[in-house]
């Protein structure tokens, strides 16, 4: 074992958990799987809800309780889903404010680069806003917040299975592609995996892969068997959201490693939704040590009442990860990000600098 690893373990042993959490908070993090709709700044949401005279609790503490999944509650998939609402907004200004003020908080947890995914329908459906206009607005608001805080950001358009038929998604995809915004780097398929198998979206993904403008990531193997991950790979997914069931198929992890398919894993989210209720036996640690390209992500931190650094602290506690492991995981995330190769190389160099800054501050 390398001396640095031993020293890190000794240091880690003598730190209390609050100190450790502060260390992971300060650690520069690359995140590939975070839903904008699950990462709202709650104070802003409360202000918008009050302004729009929505039926919400009178005080912010009760509002938080109603909005968030109780931190220590047992897993409950339906309770988790019930926290996502799309009826907050009454104007495009509301959408701008919630995006801008939410992205502004990302640097508090020292995110270095984020591929932020959002479902334009979440923001547009209730008021029937123009989907292209709302998409432009979200990107502008996110970019402004990122620029002001020194965060690097790109975007993934997320389609929610079960919300619309495939043909609607294809026309929306074409409409958003025509915006020509270089900040959009990929497409995601989210939502109810069990009732809407990946196969039902084959024409959408054929269009995405043949256009070759945006990459694809698909939520698969979160609550479904490994067969759904194989199907997602057949449709051209470059990354898999969650993919926890990949551990059940001995052929899958080596295939993911060989093809460089990154798993976007989320320990807290999987616990709260019940997709992998026991955090301590979450397969992330085993998959990592098997050489599978895994990454640590938050998924929906405001709903979960957590931050990405909480999942880092859990990975340290449950899988005995040390700083070198987290550095490796972040380079895996950069390798798997949807930026063009040249930009990826630049990002790696900048990330090395950020790490030097972090180490100097220890
Ligand atoms: Zn997700």
Q: What is the pLDDT of residue 361?
A: 86
How many Å lie between the centroid of ligand 1 and the Cα of residue 121? 16
Q: What is the pLDDT of residue 57?
A: 93
Cβ atoms of residues 54 and 88 within 8 Å = yes
How many Å lie between the centroid of ligand 1 and the Cα of residue 319? 22
What's the rounded Cα separation, in Å, for the pair 93 and 126? 15
How many Å lie between the centroid of ligand 1 and the Cα of residue 16? 31
How many Å lie between the centroid of ligand 1 and the Cα of residue 13? 33
How many Å lie between the centroid of ligand 1 and the Cα of residue 357? 31
How many Å lie between the centroid of ligand 1 and the Cα of residue 214? 18
How many Å lie between the centroid of ligand 1 and the Cα of residue 133? 24
Q: What is the pLDDT of residue 18?
A: 59
Q: What is the pLDDT of residue 186?
A: 98
How many Å lie between the centroid of ligand 1 and the Cα of residue 8? 32
How many Å lie between the centroid of ligand 1 and the Cα of residue 328? 22
How many Å lie between the centroid of ligand 1 and the Cα of residue 1? 36
Cβ-count burial 316-347 (b if 16+ within 10 Å, e if not): bebbebbbebbbebbbbbbebbbbeeeeeeeb
What's the rounded Cα separation, in Å, for the pair 223 and 194? 7
What's the rounded Cα separation, in Å, for the pair 292 and 126? 41
Q: Render pLDDT for 250-293 as a digit per residue (tens, 0 to 9).
A: 999 999 999 999 999 999 999 999 999 899 999 999 999 999 99
Domains and their CATH numbers in the chain: 3-360 (3.20.20.140)
Q: Render pLDDT for 54-90 as a digit per residue (tens, 0 to 9).
A: 999 999 999 998 899 987 789 988 888 888 889 999 9
If you search the block for the tokens 């984020």, which residue do you land on? 114
Say if residue 20's pLDDT is above 70.
no
How many Å lie between the centroid of ligand 1 and the Cα of residue 34? 7
Say if residue 165's pLDDT is above 70.
yes
How many Å lie between the centroid of ligand 1 and the Cα of residue 262? 14
What's the rounded Cα separation, in Å, for the pair 26 and 14? 18
How many Å lie between the centroid of ligand 1 and the Cα of residue 239? 12
Say if residue 236's pLDDT is above 70.
yes
Cβ atoms of residues 264 and 241 within 8 Å = yes
How many Å lie between the centroid of ligand 1 and the Cα of residue 113? 17
**The pTM is what?**
0.94
Say if residue 1's pLDDT is above 50.
no
* Residue 19 pLDDT grade (very low, low, confident, very high; cuts 50, 70, 90): low
Q: What is the pLDDT of residue 6?
A: 45
Q: What is the pLDDT of residue 360?
A: 92
Q: What is the pLDDT of residue 21?
A: 76
How many Å lie between the centroid of ligand 1 and the Cα of residue 32? 10
> Using alpha carbons only, what angle is made at residue 309 by residues 303 and 311, rounded to the nearest 5 degrees?
70
How many Å lie between the centroid of ligand 1 and the Cα of residue 77? 13
Cβ atoms of residues 165 and 204 within 8 Å = no
The mean predicted confidence, pLDDT, of the chain is 93
How many Å lie between the centroid of ligand 1 and the Cα of residue 298? 9
How many Å lie between the centroid of ligand 1 and the Cα of residue 135? 19
What's the rounded Cα separation, in Å, for the pair 195 and 304? 24
Q: What is the pLDDT of residue 4?
A: 45
Q: What is the pLDDT of residue 3?
A: 44
pLDDT > 90: percent of the chain: 87
Say if residue 306's pLDDT is above 90.
yes
Q: What is the pLDDT of residue 22?
A: 84
Q: What is the pLDDT of residue 2?
A: 47
As a whole number, mean pLDDT of residues 307-320 equals 97
As a whole number, mean pLDDT of residues 223-248 equals 98
Say if residue 201's pLDDT is above 90.
yes
* Residue 5 pLDDT grade (very low, low, confident, very high; cuts 50, 70, 90): very low
- Gyration radius from the chain CA atoms: 20
Q: Render pLDDT for 334-345 as a digit per residue (tens, 0 to 9).
A: 999 999 999 999
How many Å lie between the centroid of ligand 1 and the Cα of residue 160? 10
How many Å lie between the centroid of ligand 1 and the Cα of residue 114? 14
Q: What is the largest CA-CA distance in the chain?
A: 60
How many Å lie between the centroid of ligand 1 and the Cα of residue 80? 12
Q: Render pLDDT for 112-158 as a digit per residue (tens, 0 to 9).
A: 999 999 999 999 999 999 999 999 999 999 999 999 999 999 999 99
Q: Render pLDDT for 26-49 as a digit per residue (tens, 0 to 9).
A: 999 999 999 999 999 999 999 999
């Amino acid at each position: 074992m390398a001396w640095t690893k031993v020293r890190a373990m000794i240091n880690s042993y003598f730190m209390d958990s609050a100190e450790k959490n502060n260390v992971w908070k300060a650690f520069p993090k690359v995140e590939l799987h975070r839903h904008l709709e699950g990462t709202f700044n709650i104070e802003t949401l409360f202000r918008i809800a009050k302004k729009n005279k929505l039926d919400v609790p009178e005080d912010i503490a009760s509002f938080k309780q109603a909005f968030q999944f109780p931190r220590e509650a047992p897993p409950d998939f339906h309770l988790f889903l019930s926290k996502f609402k799309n009826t907050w907004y009454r104007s495009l200004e509301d959408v701008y404010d919630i995006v801008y003020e939410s992205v502004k908080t990302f640097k508090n947890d020292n995110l270095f680069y984020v591929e932020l995914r959002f479902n334009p329908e979440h923001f547009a459906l209730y008021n029937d806003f123009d989907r292209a206009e709302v998409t432009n607005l979200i990107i502008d608001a996110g970019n402004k917040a990122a620029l002001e805080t020194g965060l690097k950001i790109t975007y993934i358009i997320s389609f929610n299975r079960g919300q619309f038929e495939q043909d609607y998604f294809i026309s929306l995809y074409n409409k958003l592609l025509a915006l020509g915004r270089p900040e959009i780097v990929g497409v995601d398929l989210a939502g109810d995996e069990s009732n809407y198998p990946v196969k039902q979206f084959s024409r959408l993904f054929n269009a995405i892969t043949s256009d070759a403008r945006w990459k694809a990531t698909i939520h698969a193997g979160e609550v479904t068997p490994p067969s759904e991950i194989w199907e997602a790979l057949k449709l051209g997914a470059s990354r898999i959201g969650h993919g926890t069931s990949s551990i059940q198929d001995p052929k899958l992890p080596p295939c993911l490693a060989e093809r460089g398919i990154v798993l976007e894993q989320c320990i807290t989210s999987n616990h709260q939704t019940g997709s992998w209720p026991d955090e301590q036996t979450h397969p992330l640690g085993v998959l990592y040590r098997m050489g599978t390209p895994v990454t640590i992500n938050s998924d929906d931190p405001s709903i979960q009442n957590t931050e990405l650094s909480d999942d880092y602290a859990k990975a340290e506690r449950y899988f005995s990860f040390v700083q070198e492991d987290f550095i490796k995981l972040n380079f895996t995330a950069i390798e798997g990000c949807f930026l063009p190769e040249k930009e990826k190389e630049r990002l790696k160099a900048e990330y090395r600098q950020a790490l030097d800054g972090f180490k100097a501050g220890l």
